[in-house]
Structures are given as structure tokens and as C-alpha cells.
A and B are shown apart, each in its own frame.
Chain A
């Protein structure tokens, strides 16, 4: 079945370090891919998305490229800040062709220290 696998956390970085959070997926069709972020005590916010192969999603300095050949959607940021500390979820959706279901990875906790 369709699934998403993320690297296990927690990931602990110093401020201004480079961030990569790995995400790979398995899907029977052509999914859209998403990164959601959850700050402590809050709900989920859409961080970025890509809807087809080779698309690059970007927002707030974060980027991720939809790689069909490696079935990956790794999240990157060049210089993290303490305010980026949160849980990051990779997710896929086959949209209306699969009843709109959104399938999540298990989440990766990022801790950024000053």
C-alpha cells in the first residue's frame, strides 16, 4: 500500500547549521507530496508542497524537490534558527483519485540550540 517513511529523530542542530530531513515514499499512482510542520502545542501547518516530478516546493527558507526516480522528497534548509524547532511531517496524497486521503510519515522532531 501507499506509505511514507521519514528519518527518525530527534534531530539536534546548532543555530545556522544545515538541515536535511529524509523522506521516501511508496505510492501506486502519481502522488502530490507535502511537508507539514507542527510547533509545540499547535496544529499542523502546510510548509510546502510539490504536485509532480521535479517540482521544487519552497517556503520560509525550506526547500524540497520531488524526485520520482528515487521516490524521495527530502526537506532542506541552509541555516536553521531556534524558531524552527518543531515536528516535521512528510505526507503524500493521491488526491481525488484516492478519495482525498493524506498519508503521513511518523514525524521528525527538530531541536535547534542557540
Chain B
């Protein structure tokens, strides 16, 4: 089925470890983004991309890196994990043909715990 695939679904890291959260979409969407979800704070934008080779920071980018070498993939890297990065991470994609906004497709999420 077409959609956004995130891996892994669950991960436990020790403080200081690094890891990459994977996100892939097969809908040829230009726009991709990463959000983190914390209780009482909704979803906050970490990084986003408007196309292959183009990325930019969102609201809470510190401690995270991204790259977009292909249209399909948008991995999120944690450089040195900290307990404050314990959260649920969602990847989303979208496109805007002729300016129309059809909405965003979300992955199922990665639940990350940093101990």
C-alpha cells in the first residue's frame, strides 16, 4: 500500500548514543517533514524538506540532522541522544499540485526512549 513508512517502531537509546530514524514514502511527494509529539504540546516541527537536496529547520531542530538525497527518503539523525529527546516521532509527506492542498500523510511513528 502506498504511504509513509517509518522504522523502527520502538527504540531505546543510552544517553550519548547516535541513531537514524528512517522515513520513506512511495507517493512521489515533494514535501517531507519530521515532527515530535510530547504530552500537552501537540506536534512540533523538527526539520522539513521541499524537495531532494533541500532541507530547512523547523521549530525544534537542535540535536537533529536531516538530509534528502532522494525524493523517497528523509532520514532523521540524532547526533548524541539526550533524555529530553524521549518522544514519539512522526514523519509526514505532502504535495501541492497547482497550489492545491490535499493534506498530509503520516507514518505510524517511532517511539524513542533515551535513558
Which positions in A face B, CB cutoff 8 Å?
32, 34, 36, 42-46, 49, 51, 89, 93, 95-97, 99-107
Contacts and interface: CB of A to CB of B under 8 A. Distances in A.
Given A100-B48, A100-B50, A101-B33, A89 B104 contact: no
A105 B43 CA distance: 8
B42 A89 contact: yes
Interface in B26-55: 30-31, 33, 35, 40-45, 48, 50
Given A32-B101, A51-B101, A95-B101, A102 B108 contact: no
Contacts, number: 68
Given A43-B90, A89-B42, A107-B42, A99 B108 contact: no
Interface stretch (B63-71, B79-87, B91-99): B91-99
A106 B37 CA distance: 9
Interface of B: 30-31, 33, 35, 40-45, 48, 50, 56, 58, 90, 92, 94, 96, 99-101, 103-109
The 6 A-B residue pairs whose C-beta atoms are closest, nearest first, are A100-B31, A32-B101, A96-B96, A106-B42, A104-B42, A95-B101
Contact of A89 (B43, B96, B108): B43
A102 B33 contact: yes
Contacts of B109: 42-43
